[in-house]
Amino acid sequence: MELESSDEEAVFITPNTISQHSSSIFNLQLHDFLFDNANCLEVEANIGEKNNELEIQEPKRDIAVVSDVDLHRRVEATIPHGTKCATAWCVQTWKEWAEERSKLCSTSVSDKYQVVDLDILQLSKEELDYWLAKFVLEVRKKKTPGECYPPNTLYQICCGIQRFLKENGKQEFKLFTDTSFKLFQDALDSEMKRLTSKGVGVQIKQAEAFSEEQEEKLWSSHVLGSHSPKVLLDTMVFLIGKNFSLRSGKEHRSLSFSQLSLVPPKNGEPEKLVYTSYGEKNNAGGLKHRSFKGKRVEHYANEERPERCLSDKVLNNNDSYSENPNASQYK
């Protein structure tokens, strides 16, 4: 019985043991499978991340490093040459007045201040207010001694001094709006009214429009035409300035073929030459001119007088256009 019991127990235990071993093996295999699968998933995830990095990777941004010298030169280049000359002349006018006044009034003791500092940047607000008020009343023309400046010229001189102060670290010196300069403001207003009442500067010189008769005379006298290289160049300068309203020599000098496009005849319209401005005297494209539209002028071909046709002279007879559109128009 014991044997049978033992055998039965053995028989009973053996399948149970096999079942336990099978379960252990299955669990081990499942663990290995899950581990391997997890590793595969991790590898695939890493590969996917790298692929995504490769896909979304953007090219490096190229920059142009600017030195302090280049920065200063770039800012200076935005100031028109005429404005620089005008500012320098205004400051020189102040210096010459200050030097002369200091000589004439060096012994006077009645004035609040005795000697004018030639360097206007060294003056305080109070001193500058005082001396500017004297300046606008006393300054006279240099070429015609004793003659007063016209009211608008006097105002422009003060504007030039204001620009000079601003450009040299005196931004807080606002001559026309700051109440610290009330004496100067009243003196300038009074002097401008006095000069106007005497008729000084009332008649303003203005450029007269070029008449058709005057232009016809230039053509008939062969001042304009295409019979020689020099005359052709003069003719192009005249026609381009007239038809595209170029206002300064700089606009002529910087004119390139890329600003011009020839539009063939279409819908009954003749051939036309289209000019696109790259910045002009009163619209340089800076912060103050953001709301301004660039100038675009259309000039139709002169079919009645082809020898006076601008489009023919500029593009059709000039091989430089196809070779280099950015080349200067007059070369």
pLDDT average, residue stretch 294-303: 86
How much of the chain exceeds pLDDT 90, in percent?
Answer: 31
Q: What is the pLDDT of residue 79?
A: 82
pLDDT average, residue stretch 309-328: 61
CA angle in degrees (0–180, nearest 5) for 38-39-44: 95
Mapping DSSP to helix (H, G, I), strand (E, B) and coil, where does residue 269 land? strand
Q: Which residues pair with 274 in a beta bridge?
A: 261, 298
Query: Residue 134 class from Cβ within 10 Å (0-12 exposed, 13-18 middle, 19+ buried)?
Result: buried
What length is written for the chain? 331
Q: What is the pLDDT of residue 56?
A: 59
- Angstrom CA distances, 94 to 19, 91, 154, stand at 113, 5, 11
Is there a contact between 229 and 237 (Cβ–Cβ < 8 Å)? no
Nearest of 273, 283, 281 to residue 312 by alpha carbon: 273
Is there a contact between 48 and 42 (Cβ–Cβ < 8 Å)? no
Taking the C-alpha atoms of residue 176 and residue 133, their distance in angstroms, rounded to an integer, is 12
Quick check: 37 pLDDT over 70?
no
Is there a contact between 326 and 256 (Cβ–Cβ < 8 Å)? yes
More confident residue, 46 or 237: 237
Taking the C-alpha atoms of residue 234 and residue 223, their distance in angstroms, rounded to an integer, is 8
Q: What is the pLDDT of residue 26?
A: 46
Selection from 64-78, 95-109, 313-327 with the highest mean pLDDT: 64-78
Quick check: 2 pLDDT over 80?
no
**Segments of the chain assigned E as strands:** 260-263, 272-276, 296-300
Beta strands at 260-263 and 272-276: parallel, antiparallel or unpaired: antiparallel
Lowest-confidence region among 52-61, 216-225, 287-296: 52-61
More confident residue, 84 or 29: 84
Quick check: 31 pLDDT over 70?
no
Residues 6+ apart with CB under 8 A from 159: 90
More confident residue, 297 or 18: 297
Taking the C-alpha atoms of residue 13 and residue 34, their distance in angstroms, rounded to an integer, is 31
In this structure, what token pair is assigned to residue 105?
Answer: 């009034």
